């Protein structure tokens, strides 16, 4: 992807003036009939979000509660809600608000806080006694997360689940088995067979441990299961139809996962690449954590029609993608790392490919969103060549990285890569071992666009996504057909090649010539960046006046643009089928019209 821009989210955090908080009363009755459980719900850089839950496990009402704990030096509370929190050195105390102190038998209440540092609470006390409900041994910790369940004996209506045991300082009592987030069973063993399921249906299973004090630990990793039988998925045919969803699009572009539903696009795609994760210090990492898993959605903004709550473990784009997959179970989602902006870290990653692959799997399989992602996509621009930065890791580095990813992720995950479409002699395709790496990958997203544009400010004007060569093309080999042919010649199977489509145009200004090949004075104005504009804008503001090499172009006033239309996409899809390609992909969803006419053209053209 040639252009990558993100808008930083300005997120203000309210810091409570602890010195001014209401003073604490003396502890009430010893906590022999109540428990306090702590869970770290989110983590970022040097901070985190924590949640305490106080539960009345007795037979009489609790009139008030006070939770105390110690943090190690360097860890502190920076803001809190639903409790008054004060500190004395490293000792922290939280007391109920006036409206949430009374708890009937069996009732519970939670309060949360943002923290700085990386420590965990110790020496917990609830109303002066033990947080596990006893009068001695204060500081009982909740159990650890159980292992991600494995699935076996899958039938039309049942599945057997097994998981590795959780650990606890006082002992594990039992496990809750969750199907799609709802509890379906409580068992003492580390296995369970779920029955009464629907044939040909996708489910997501997680497990949560409970200790002898009835404290629930964190939910473990998720396992996706599809029962046998039923209708064949996906309904969109046997070709891959993939679109990129940009993490930063939720800001200035105001494009959200729900737009895939309202536009009708969700029913016409098979895969989504979520772009982009970053590559830092040789490791995969989430880039914008707020957009990814913290941004709260209202009921009208969300795919499910349900509003996010402050204490739910996952919000943001990841939760919306989870809801989309529940609604459209044929869709698979891959986490894409790198891109034009973040490819500088791949050279270091290739020096220890196994460690890089492990870090990527840890991100993809984070227990909070493990059921969201079905694979990983690597967008290295460009191995052993120059993009935003230049890489000199050698022609074998890309293959080494792909081999490590496949070894780490195994066969149950998709592993793909977006690669150069430079088909020139001695160009970027020749710089790396794409042929050798193909054996480890499910497919390549061949970026057959951005060949020409106003990065050459004076022109000549040329279509940025030519399907074929043509007389006067500024650079030999800069077209889809030559790129695909070169990759096939290097041994990449046709079915592992996807043709790239841009849902945007590239343009110049100061152009007097309508036909391609004219001179220019610079980049045409664009909504977000000079020289680039979405199709949804261009189709009305500068309608196509001709086609060349399978791509439309338009001359309006002094501006000259090239872009794909439903008609040119249809012809490109016919060509892709004639070449035996695995399908097509596009950058990116938000450039399409509100009714998804370009995505519809890709879908129709590949049937």
Whole-prediction pTM value? 0.66
When pLDDT is averaged across residues 183-193 and rounded to a whole number, the result is: 93
Give residue 17's pLDDT: 30
Residue 133: pLDDT band by 50, 70, 90 thresholds? low
Residue 372 pLDDT greater than 50, yes or no: yes
User: CB neighbours of 151 closer than 8 A, spacing ≥ 6?
Assistant: 159, 160, 161, 205, 223, 225
When pLDDT is averaged across residues 175-181 and rounded to a whole number, the result is: 88
Q: Residue 434 burial (CB < 10 Å; 0-12/13-18/19+)?
A: buried
Which is more confident, 200 or 590? 590
Answer for the pair 341, 368: CB distance below 8 angstroms, yes or no.
no
When pLDDT is averaged across residues 147-156 and rounded to a whole number, the result is: 87
CA-based max dimension of the chain? 89
Give residue 28's pLDDT: 32
Helices and strands: H and E segment counts in the chain? 13, 32
Beta strands in 233-359 (DSSP E): 240-246, 271-280, 283-285, 332-338
Residue 13 pLDDT greater than 50, yes or no: no
Between CA 483 and CA 486 the distance in angstroms is 5
Which is more confident, 247 or 237? 247
Name the residue among 284, 267, 496 with its Cα closest to residue 376.
Answer: 284
Give residue 230's pLDDT: 63
When pLDDT is averaged across residues 177-183 and rounded to a whole number, the result is: 85
Measure Cα distances from 481 to 38, 109, 423, 535 in Å: 58, 63, 8, 23
Residue 135: pLDDT band by 50, 70, 90 thresholds? very low
Residue 233: pLDDT band by 50, 70, 90 thresholds? very low
Class of domain 150-226: mainly beta
Give residue 5's pLDDT: 35
Which is catalytic among the residues 68, 381, 408, 533?
A: 381
Residue 394: pLDDT band by 50, 70, 90 thresholds? very high
* Same fold yes or no, 18-130 and 150-226: yes
Answer for the pair 499, 572: CB distance below 8 angstroms, yes or no.
yes
Residue 498 pLDDT greater than 50, yes or no: yes
Give residue 538's pLDDT: 97
Residue 536: pLDDT band by 50, 70, 90 thresholds? very high
Kindly list the domain boundaries of the chain, sorted by start residue. Answer: 18-130, 150-226
When pLDDT is averaged across residues 327-340 and rounded to a whole number, the result is: 96
Tokens of 233: 């998925």
pLDDT tens digit string along 18-72? 322 222 233 333 334 788 888 887 777 678 888 999 988 888 888 899 999 999 8
597 is annotated as an active-site residue: no
Q: What residues pair up with 523 in beta bridges, in sequence order?
A: 508
Q: Are strands 414-419 and 443-446 parallel, antiparallel or unpaired?
A: parallel
CATH assignment of 18-130, among 1.10.287.130, 2.30.110.10, 3.40.50.620, 2.60.40.290: 2.60.40.290
Tokens of 449: 């666009």
Give residue 287's pLDDT: 96
């Amino acid at each position: 992807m040639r252009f990558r821009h993100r808008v930083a989210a300005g997120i203000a955090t309210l810091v409570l003036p602890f010195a001014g908080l209401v003073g604490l009363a003396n502890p009430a009755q010893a906590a022999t009939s109540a428990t306090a459980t702590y869970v770290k719900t989110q983590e970022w850089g040097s901070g985190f979000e924590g949640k305490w839950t106080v539960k009345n496990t007795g037979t009489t009402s609790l009139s008030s509660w006070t939770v105390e704990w110690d943090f190690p030096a360097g860890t502190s509370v920076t803001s809190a809600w639903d409790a008054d929190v004060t500190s004395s050195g490293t000792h922290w105390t939280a007391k109920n608000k006036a409206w949430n102190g009374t708890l009937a038998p069996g009732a519970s209440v939670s309060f949360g806080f943002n923290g700085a540092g990386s420590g965990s609470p110790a020496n917990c006390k609830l109303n002066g006694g033990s947080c596990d409900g006893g009068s001695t041994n204060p500081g009982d910790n909740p159990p650890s997360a159980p292992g991600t369940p494995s699935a076996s004996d899958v039938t039309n209506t049942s599945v057997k689940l097994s998981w590795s045991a959780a650990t606890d300082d006082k002992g594990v009592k039992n496990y809750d088995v969750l199907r799609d987030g709802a509890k379906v069973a409580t068992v003492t063993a580390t296995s369970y067979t779920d029955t009464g399921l629907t044939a040909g249906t996708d489910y997501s299973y997680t497990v949560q441990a409970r200790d002898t004090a009835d404290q629930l630990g964190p939910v473990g990793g998720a396992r996706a299961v599809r029962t046998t039988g039923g209708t064949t998925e996906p309904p969109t045919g046997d070709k891959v139809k993939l679109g990129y969803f940009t993490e930063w699009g939720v800001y200035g572009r105001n494009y959200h996962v729900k737009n895939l539903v309202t536009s009708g696009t969700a029913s016409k795609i098979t895969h989504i690449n979520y772009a982009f994760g970053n590559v830092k210090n040789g490791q995969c990492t989430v880039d914008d954590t707020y957009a990814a898993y913290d941004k709260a959605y209202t009921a009208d903004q969300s795919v499910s029609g349900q509003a996010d709550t402050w204490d739910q473990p996952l919000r943001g784009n990841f939760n919306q993608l989870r809801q989309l997959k529940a609604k459209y179970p044929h869709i698979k989602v891959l986490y894409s790392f790198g891109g034009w902006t973040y490819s500088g870290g791949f050279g270091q990653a290739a020096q220890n490919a196994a460690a890089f692959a492990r870090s990527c799997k840890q991100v993809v399989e984070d227990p909070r969103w493990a059921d969201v992602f079905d694979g990983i996509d690597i967008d290295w621009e460009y191995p052993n060549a120059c993009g935003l930065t230049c890489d000199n890791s050698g022609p074998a580095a890309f293959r080494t990285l792909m081999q490590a990813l496949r070894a780490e992720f195994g066969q149950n995950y998709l592993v793909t890569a977006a690669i150069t479409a430079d088909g020139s002699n001695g160009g970027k395709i020749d710089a790396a071992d794409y042929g050798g790496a193909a054996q480890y990958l499910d497919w390549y997203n061949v970026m057959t666009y951005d060949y020409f544009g106003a990065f050459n400010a004076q022109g000549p004007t040329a279509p940025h996504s030519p399907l074929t060569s043509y007389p006067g093309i500024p650079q030999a080999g800069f077209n889809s057909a030559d790129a695909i042919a070169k990759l096939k010649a290097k041994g990449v199977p046709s079915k592992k090649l996807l043709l790239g489509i841009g849902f945007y145009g590239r343009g110049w200004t100061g152009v007097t010539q309508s036909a391609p090949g004219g001179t220019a004075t610079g980049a045409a104005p664009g909504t977000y960046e000079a020289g680039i504009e979405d199709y949804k804008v261009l189709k009305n503001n500068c309608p196509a006046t001709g086609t060349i090499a399978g791509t439309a172009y338009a001359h309006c006033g002094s501006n000259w643009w090239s872009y794909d239309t439903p008609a040119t996409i249809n012809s490109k899809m016919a060509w892709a089928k004639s070449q035996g390609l695995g399908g097509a992909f596009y950058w990116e969803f938000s450039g399409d019209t509100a009714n998804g006419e370009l995505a519809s053209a890709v879908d129709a053209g590949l049937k």
